[in-house]
Structure formats: C-alpha cells, structure tokens
Structure 1
C-alpha cells in the first residue's frame, strides 16, 4: 500500500465570527445570526422554548447539563434576551477554525513499516518525553484509563491507533457541517472518521502503537469529533463534547484547540450599509466554557489544552485584545474590553506551551505568567522560517530538515471535492498515512498521555491531584523555578512515574 508522509503546519486557533447574511436588496437578513445563550441556572428552564421564541429565536443546539443553548435570532436578540429573568447572558456564537495550510506529500512506498520503525527514526519528541523510552519499562497505560480526544475524529483504519480505540466514540458535527454544504456530514453520531488529519495525529501522540509510538502506547482513547474536513466548529459543539466525554467517564480530555473570547463589547460595521451595530458582550462563550470545565472536573475528568500558536503573552489581556482586533478588524469587527484564550485561560485545566528540539520555547507558542502549567515538545519553525525567508525553502525540503524540528504522527490520507465557492462538499478516504505537524496542538496530547499514566498509577486520583502531580514532576528547564514560558517545566512521563 502506498503510504504518504506529509509536512503540515498545524495552527489550531482563533475564531471566525459568523456575519449577518446580506439579502438581495442589500438589507441584512437578521435571522441567520447565531447566538449562545447561558441561563442563570445550570439546567434548562421548563419554559425555555417559549422564552427563545418570544424573543424571535429558534433553538438549534442545546447542552442541558450546563444550561446552555445555541439559537438563531435577529441581531437585536441579545439586547432583549438579557432582560429576561432566566437568562444570564446571550452573545453572538463563535466558530473555532483550523486555518487552511499547505501539505507536502512524500511517498514512502516500499518503506518497511514494522513495529516502532518510525519512532526509532524520527520521533525525537516522544523520546524526549519518555526519556528515550525508559518510561515504557514503568507503565505504558491500559484501557481502564481513557483519554477523550475532542478534535477532528479518528482514522478508523489506521493500524497505529486501531488497537487503542475504544467503543463509544461520538460525532457532534450536524448534517451539512459548518457551512451546511458538506454531503458527507449526515449528523450520524457514530460517524467519527477523520476527514482532516488533526485528530488522528493527536491520537498518535497519545496512544500510537505501530510504526509510530505515542507517550502511552497502551492507553485507551475515544474520539469526540467536533470538526469536519474544513476544520470549523461552533463552540457549542465543543462544549457539548466536553459534557458527553465527562458523562462517558473519560479520565483525561485532550483539547488541542482554542480561541479568543472577549469580555467586553463587540461592534460590527456592515460593509454594505456602513451601519455600526452593537453585537453584545462576548462573555457567554466564556461562562459556558467555565461551566463545561467544572462539570468535567466534577465527573472526574482532567482537561488538557494547548496554549495557542500566536507567539503572544496570553496573560496580557490588552495584548490579546489588540491581536483580536488586528485579525478581525478587516472583517468589520471591533472589540473593547479584555481578551482571553479559552479554554486555556480556565483555572481548572492544564495549559501546555510548546518546545523545540533543544528545549527552547517554540517561536510560535503562546506563553504568560500564570497561564502556562507545563510544556511539552510541539516542534519548532526556526529552520523552516529561516529557509523560507532566505528564499531557499527547496533546500529545506530536499535536505529533509523538517525531520529535525517537526513532529511525526499518524493521519488519514484524503481527497476533497469542492463546489464553485471553494467549499468542501465531500471527501474520499484513500488510506492511512503519516505526517509531520508542528504546533501547541502537538504538545498538549503528550501531557494528556502523561496524565493518563498518572491516573493508571494512582487509582482513584482526582483531576486536581493529577494536575498537581504533572506540575510537581515536570523537569525544570529555562529559568530556575516556575516561569512564564514553561510553567513548572517540561512534562516527562519517566519523571512522573518515578515521582
């Protein structure tokens, strides 16, 4: 079988706002604006349908365990809904995106893919976390401890992740996908096949066991698919997945994703009319995430999340806000207030920064005092950027320099069909493969794997205890003691198991 190795820059971050749709006469069709509604109680009121309808809204998604729903409603919905006694906050819904990036396929036909051959040749990152595999002699995990991977799904046919994929994976992408045009998205809750690659790559970092190895190669996992082929998801889908994973009894929830949420005011200027509209306070998504994370913790699940790939001091709320305005200003948005990376900013999660092959902070990784808990290898872009800027990127590829700084793991290989607007309308799966990625998305799953090993070692441990153990056992790198780049230090499976 032809296998494909792919070099891919994985930058899983930031939000895409859904804009009001323009009607043929140039007027705004307000009915297309999605809102996230958080009720004051952590349950849905009995008269919820009437409350939503009375304010001109239509229910499209609900998370009853935390009192959160998504509705479609006129732009004025939030202003009026906030006055209702049962509603805490209502804000425009957000879409979390995986930006489109180029991939470079490298055929490996005829390459011997026997056990651990790619681990031995390329996985410097896994070797760093396991201290050259020494942690494998102590504990490799088991199927009694489960990691829930909230991502793009899993390649059901990939030999390197099949044996640790447990029954019960779920899909949260509704029919049509994020754009409503993907024919492969039927809303089937059992359809967890990865159309993108990101989720399978994450799974390989955690529990790969074949030509590649993960940090915990015998640990069980389930896939909770919230992203389709195009890599977009409403935050409500993600929060629903957190709740479902917690209900299913997973021990660790890996979230190699995130976005910026504003506590303040959002303004939108209609490009057609020049009208400046007040879109409400974006605290709804943050409150909802807080509830979902607390719900998971009460159920015994520890959330591990990536820090983000913008090279920002994420503890500086002004700096994050300015970055959001730079990104979305051209789209007509203006934010006033404070910016937070979420779920990374939540107090009861483990937030992971990324390091390169020399234990340095990766050039793209977010950081910040009190923001980062621990670090892990996510790969770096120093050589990549150097050769790109000097105009000799072909030399970078021909000399396979990406092997020195990127992370190799499992992926599906797929081909897409597009409509005339460039939207993905279908996909064809062509087989399992392997790819090099780089990003904090690759750092977080290594820490999730270490957390899973700690749950296996300490039966009955609480999420809080495992988080403390992760911090206490981390290898101090960089400035002595806890710092803004690596938190408590580099996560190490060997040190954690010996602690």
Structure 2
C-alpha cells in the first residue's frame, strides 16, 4: 500500500475539520445596497445597477440604495450574504489505469466503499456535464485538467478574478475532485465520475481579510439558472446554507423554489449539502434548509472512525452518521461519505492527537491561492488533503447522478434521483432520519 509521509499532507490538524465545522457552515446576514427583486422587467432608475437579470425565473438582482430600489415598483428584499471561515492552508503534494492505479487511492475509503473501480467498468460518467457552485474550481490542478470546461465556467461574484481558478479558496476544488478527479493519470486521487465535464460556477469571493469568504444568495440563484441554461445534468451546491424563517423564509423560499423548479424542468439535478450543525431539520422551526426546495436532493454525511489508524478495525463503519451532520426525515434524501472524526480527539491539542486520525476525513484535491496584501492574485499551489462535511458528501451524490445519467441519457432529473434512491438502503441498526432513502450505492444505481 502507498504510504505518504506525514509532511506530504502537512497541517492536517484541527483546522482541516473546517470542512466539517466552518467550511460549510454558513452564516447568513442581510446585504447592504444589494437587493433581490421579484421581477425581471425592472429598468435601472437613479443609482440602481442590474447585477443579474434572470428572465427565465422572473427576478433580478440589483445594487443601489433601498430608496431607489423601492421606486422600481416590484416586491424586493435585501440580498443575503453568506460567510465562512477559511481553514488553515495545507501544503501541496508534489507529483508528477484505473482508479486503483492512483497512488493515493488506498487512502480514499469513500471511493473504496462505493466500489468505484467496479462502477468504472460500466461508466465513468462520459457524456454528462456537472456544475460546481462553490468557491471556484482550479482547472489547472493535475487531477482536474482533463475535466473543467474553462470557456463555460463563470464568475458570479463582484470580484474580477474570473473563473476556473480557486480564487475563493480550495473548498470548491476539493468538491470538484470528489466528482471528477482523473483516474487514469497515475497521479493523486480518483473521482467517482472522471468522465464527466465540470463547469466552475464561482459564487464565493475572497475578501479582506483574505481568510474570510463571502457569497450572495442572489449569485447562487444566478448560478443555478446558468447551470440549467448550459445543460448541466447535475449541479452541486455544497453550501450548507440556511434561510432564516423569521421574516425571511416566505420571500426567499419562494424565489428558491421557482429557481430550482426551473432547473429541474431544464434537466438539471440539484444536489444540496444538508449542513453541519447536528440539527434535526424536520423539527427545527428556526431555519429553512436549502434542501427543502421542491427540486433538491438533500444529502447528509457519514464516515468511519479508525480508518487505518489506532487499533485494528473500525470503531465506526463507513456508513455511520457523522457526528456533525444535519438530519431529518423530510430534509434528507440520501446519505453519502463525508468524513467523520472521534469527537474526543478534537478536545486535545493538535500535537497530542494520534498519528493518522485525520484519515477518517475525505481525501481529495486542493488548490491553495495566494494573494498580496493589496489583494492581487499571486498564484496557486496544488495538492491533496483531507476535509470533512456534508460538503464532501454532496458531490458523492452529484457524481453518482452523472454516472446514472451517463448510462440512461434519456432520464429526467426526477428519474435520476429516483434511481439513486431505489439503489440505496438504510443500514441495519440505524435510523432512517439520517439517511432518507438510504446510503448511496452508485454501483447498484448504474446497474439498474
């Protein structure tokens, strides 16, 4: 078995659990001078600027003062801002067929448990397209160069960095790698659907301080519409975001449902990370989870404890619910590998944790951007590292959707989702509330 040195994945400490605790736990707030208007027919008045005009779903995103926006004569509300902490930046792994030939495959418990090499004997996801709505996908990563359609990729943020790069951080590249990392380049890791085409839809922007990421709800809606318009078979939203019910849920929920319904009718399966607050979404009345949209597939996270570290054998199996995952019968459609950790270890200083504890997280691609003090983009370092969260679970399902679509090109989004659900099963001894239809089984899904 390939055994990387500890230095090869330096800084795989508590901060990398940011993928589980902060990397996808999004805090919502009201934006200033930016609004979502329930009309696509508005015309600029005063100092109002059109940011996104989404004709297909009858709404606009505008920038301006509320006084001027009110004069537009349509219902509106402040755009929502989402922010998340940027975890410690890991170091790159230097590197220069089939999934098993990838040098880090033995550390990919998620792909091994899903029997991905056997899946690839049937399909690698050829003929499909997947949109990654996230912090940005590094098209230059050695394991993603084959997959990213740079021309179709779009930057939906206000910054000027463009698309197909990790300008908002490495989260989106890790998500993209879970979907489509190259299984035939004898480098790094393998994705579940390496034959699919990826489109980067960047909605997070790096702001000052550079460790802070920010996204707008309006940009996410625009990215969903765009994904549908370019014919994406699936779109991954590892955002874990909530819409506060109190005073907000009705307006924003209506726009979300309208947008996701449009995407579904255009043929795009939307896959949502359920979030990482250990919350029962079915009974929590404070929030509307994004996976509650009528056309979304909500995904919870599972993971092992004790994968190739500690005593022989696993304390918890690969399909056991992760300690952080949100759950709820009406909110979760499928559970998938997202990574877990022994909670007691998180109470220890990093230097006192046993070697290899982080292997219970999900290993895949990262691309770490660097910026000058003035905010100028300086470049990127490519590598691999472990993250955990429903953010890592969602792209497992998104990739599986591409695999099913590849062997059933006539399937509608609902048929793709149904195929995944039929193939899944709730593991013996576990509660349905964590799994919805069950634990993801892409091999059974593609076999039909």
Once the two structures are superposed, the pairs formed by residues 59-208 of structure 1 within 5 Å of their partners are 59-74=50-65, 84=73, 87=74, 89-105=75-91, 108=93, 115-120=101-106, 122-130=107-115, 133-142=117-126, 144-175=127-158, 177=159, 185-186=160-161, 188=162, 191-195=163-167, 196-208=169-181
Q: Does 1:440 align with 2:390?
A: yes
Larger Rg: 1 or 2?
1
Change (3 A) 1:295 1:253: same
- TM-score, structure 1 length as denominator? 0.76
Once the two structures are superposed, the pairs formed by residues 58-457 of structure 1 within 5 Å of their partners are 58-74=49-65, 84=73, 87=74, 89-105=75-91, 108=93, 115-120=101-106, 122-130=107-115, 133-142=117-126, 144-175=127-158, 177=159, 185-186=160-161, 188=162, 191-195=163-167, 196-209=169-182, 210-229=187-206, 230-265=212-247, 281-318=248-285, 321=286, 339-342=287-290, 344-357=291-304, 358=317, 359-382=319-342, 385-389=343-347, 391-396=348-353, 399-403=355-359, 405-418=360-373, 425-457=375-407
* CA distance, structure 1, for counterparts of residue 109 and residue 326 of structure 2: 22
Deviations 1:415-454 (A, max 9, x none): 23345xxxxx233224321111100000000111111111
* CA distance, structure 2, for counterparts of residue 488 and residue 208 of structure 1: 27
Shift of 1:35: 1.9
- TM-score, structure 2 length as denominator? 0.84
- Contact 1:145/1:219 (<8 A) preserved: yes
- Contact 1:57/1:74 (<8 A) preserved: yes
Deviations 1:102-134 (A, max 9, x none): 3454x65589xx9411012x1001111226x32
SS at match of 1:117: coil
Which residue does 2:311 correspond to in 1? Answer: none
Shift of 1:38: 1.3
- Contact 1:305/1:351 (<8 A) preserved: yes
- Contact 2:27/2:84 (<8 A) preserved: no
Shift of 1:77: 7.2
What is the CA RMSD across the aligned residues, in angstroms? 2.7
* CA distance, structure 2, for counterparts of residue 240 and residue 295 of structure 1: 12
Deviations 1:358-396 (A, max 9, x none): 1211111100011100000100132xx31231x343132
- Contact 2:282/2:328 (<8 A) preserved: yes
SS at match of 2:253: helix
- Contact 1:92/1:282 (<8 A) preserved: no
Deviations 1:7-41 (A, max 9, x none): 3221313234246xxxxxxxxxxxx43221113xx
SS at match of 2:401: helix
SS at match of 2:272: strand
* CA distance, structure 1, for counterparts of residue 392 and residue 128 of structure 2: 21
Change (3 A) 1:313 1:249: same
Deviations 1:254-296 (A, max 9, x none): 111142213442xxxxxxxxxxxxxxx4533322221211111
Which residue does 1:49 correspond to in 2? Answer: 43
* CA distance, structure 1, for counterparts of residue 246 and residue 400 of structure 2: 37
Shift of 1:470: 0.8
Shift of 1:305: 1.1
- Contact 1:59/1:71 (<8 A) preserved: yes
SS at match of 1:484: helix
Change (3 A) 1:110 1:101: closer
Change (3 A) 1:76 1:297: same
- Contact 2:90/2:368 (<8 A) preserved: no
* CA distance, structure 2, for counterparts of residue 90 and residue 264 of structure 1: 16
Which residue does 2:38 correspond to in 1? Answer: 38
- Contact 2:157/2:202 (<8 A) preserved: no
SS at match of 1:436: strand
- Contact 1:235/1:285 (<8 A) preserved: no
- Contact 1:6/1:103 (<8 A) preserved: yes
Shift of 1:224: 1.2
Which residue does 2:314 correspond to in 1? Answer: none
* CA distance, structure 1, for counterparts of residue 393 and residue 95 of structure 2: 30
- Contact 2:178/2:191 (<8 A) preserved: yes
Which residue does 2:313 correspond to in 1? Answer: none
- Contact 2:240/2:390 (<8 A) preserved: no
Change (3 A) 1:59 1:223: closer
Structure 1 unaligned segments of length 5 or more: list them. 20-31, 178-184, 266-280, 322-338, 420-424
Larger fraction in strand: 1
Deviations 1:21-63 (A, max 9, x none): xxxxxxxxxxx43221113xxxx23xx226x65xx85544322
* CA distance, structure 2, for counterparts of residue 346 and residue 69 of structure 1: 19
